[in-house]
Amino acid sequence: MKIALAQLNFHTGNFALNTGKIISCLDKAKKEGADLVVFPELCICGYPPRDFLEFSDFIHLCREQVDHIASCCKGIAAIVGAPSVNPQVEGKDLFNSAFFLCDGKVHSIRNKTLLPTYDVFDEYRYFEPNRSFEIVTYKNTRIALTICEDLWNINHNPLYITTPMDELIKQYPDLIINIAASPFSHQQSANRTAVLQNNARKYGLPVIYVNHAGAQTELIFDGGSMVLNAKGEIVNQLKYFEEDLSYVITTEINTLPAETTAQDKYASIYKALVLGTRDYFDKLGFKQAILGLSGGIDSALVLCIAAEALGKENVRAVLMPSQFSSDHSISDSLKLAANLGVKHDIIPIEKAFNQFRELLQPVFENRPFDLTEENMQARCRGLLLMSMSNKFGYILLNTSNKSELAVGYGTLYGDMCGGLSVIGDLYKTEVFELCRYINRSTEIIPNEIITKAPSAELRPDQKDSDSLPEYHVLDPVLYAYIEECKGPKEIIAAGHDANVVERILRLVNLNEYKRHQTPPILRISPKAFGMGRRLPIVAKYLI
């Protein structure tokens, strides 16, 4: 049997677009002699649909699209993912399902057993878990049809009490097909490959795996669909971060040569952030972006990503120097804007800042210059950027990094403004590495931006290290606390200074309220701020 792997970029709730892509792909695959086309999990409605699943009309529209696609499946079969109605009185109303379509109708439906409810996943909120197991037979091929997480309960510390493939293997399938919506993190590709390899080896079966490619708000799907032989070797690897269509003949899978699939961390992160930014704009119908260009490394990185994602003609950079801005910050910013060919403006804020200070002087009671005045400058800049955003229809890109967001080193309604946080899941040390990756062939970001000491330039001779530990000290502690969920005793036992750890964790916890007011953050790590990390604002832990 000739099987097509259809790795496509879907749009949540855009049924006309999603169905059109599926039917177009079916037509193309049919011309290429394919017997079956495999599409990703919940491709009909897009992933994740979240509370749209609570609308009966939404579910009705999903089924309408499935039936329409089924009517096109004559001389070819398809597997598509969509929610289906649970016919039982007990349990939740819906299943997360794989529909097998052939001969112009729905041939069979297989439901997802293991429903992830951790990190960014919340499937048990909506779906009933499957409790019956049956293979699908088509063209004399016995298929163990599974959905994403159904293959992940294979590690030494299983998350669930059921392993679907342990049940399906009893029916002697010839191969495993897994349709997935597996979002990107810089560790996910290796973890995903290991899971698929372990399944192939444990059950002695080839595995066909099809994932989404594209972004849905903060989640980025990197594709990377693949075919593995019974020994767990990858014999067909689809592109990363792009739509792709590939074919495999089932009788040839175990004879095809193995492929290598190593992914460079920073190459992948860069592609992910470009894709995430581009899809955020395209799928919301936005065209142009604006951002503040400070002469620092964070805004420089965001400008590079935006220019790549949206085109240089659709990006506008604004320099807003104050009396505390250094000359090199302005000159470095101008050089970067010229290197990228983006439009830029220079709007000094000193006059506006001084007017605000004069206006507030009577109520401030002649108190000395402090953090208040520093934040006032950031809010002057935020006001200018949001005003230009309103006037011209730009979307403001936020330029805060994860280290700053973690410890509250940012100003609400100032530099924390924006419609999208592009690098809010990158620690500062990772920001430096990604900039070096961008400059790997030629100097796009001026070297002076990368090598100078980080500074907000909100008071004379200010440096980030005046308020925070050096980033090479700060970031490992943050990683241990945020990604690894380690407490202070564990972090100190790993060799970090106790006073530094206590200070950092206190800052993280105290600033939870700020993070609840940030824009959506493009997720590139296993634990991003936002939907994947849900902590109470009013709490006492570790403080």
CA separation, residue 5 to residues 78, 134, 167, 279 (Å): 10, 22, 25, 22
Q: Which of 25, 73, 102, 148 is catalytic?
A: 148
Structure-token pair, residue 21 = 């892509």
Span between the terminal Cα atoms of the chain, in Å? 61
Q: Which residue has the tokens 């604004």?
A: 318
Q: Is 539 exposed, middle or buried (0-12, 13-18, 19+ CB in 10 A)?
A: exposed
For Cα atoms 198, 203, 206, give the angle at the middle one, nearest 5 degrees: 80
Place of tokens 């079966």: 205
In order of 166, 234, 237, the CA distances from 182 in angstroms are 22, 18, 16
Q: CA neighbours within 13 Å on the CB side: how many for 311?
A: 7
User: Which among 2, 112, 271, 527 is annotated as catalytic?
Assistant: 112
Q: Which helix (H) or strand (E) holds 38?
A: strand 36-38
What the block records as the tokens of 420 is: 């999208």
Rounded distance, CA 524 to CA 354, Å?
40
365 is catalytic: no
Residue 510: enclosing H or E segment and its boundaries? helix 498-510
Q: Which residues contact 530 (CB under 8 A, 6 or more apart)?
A: 218, 515, 518, 520, 521, 523
The secondary structure of 297-345 as a DSSP string is HHHHHHHHHHHHHH-GGGEEEEE---TT--HHHHHHHHHHHHHHT-EEE
Told to judge if 148 belongs to the known catalytic residues of this protein, a careful annotator would answer yes
Distance CA 35, CA 58 (A): 30
Radius of gyration of the chain measured on its C-alpha atoms: 26
Choose, from 41, 404, 430, 457, the residue flagged as catalytic: 41
Structure-token pair, residue 360: 């507030």
Instruction: Tell how strand 175-179 and strand 213-216 pair up.
Output: unpaired
H helix runs in 127-214, sequence order: 164-168, 188-203
- In this structure, the number of other CB atoms found within 10 A of the CB of residue 258 comes to 12
From residue 193, how far is each of 177, 315, 464 by CA, in Å?
14, 37, 39
CA–CA gap between residue 384 and residue 195 (Å, rounded): 49
* Residues annotated catalytic, as ranges: 41, 112, 148
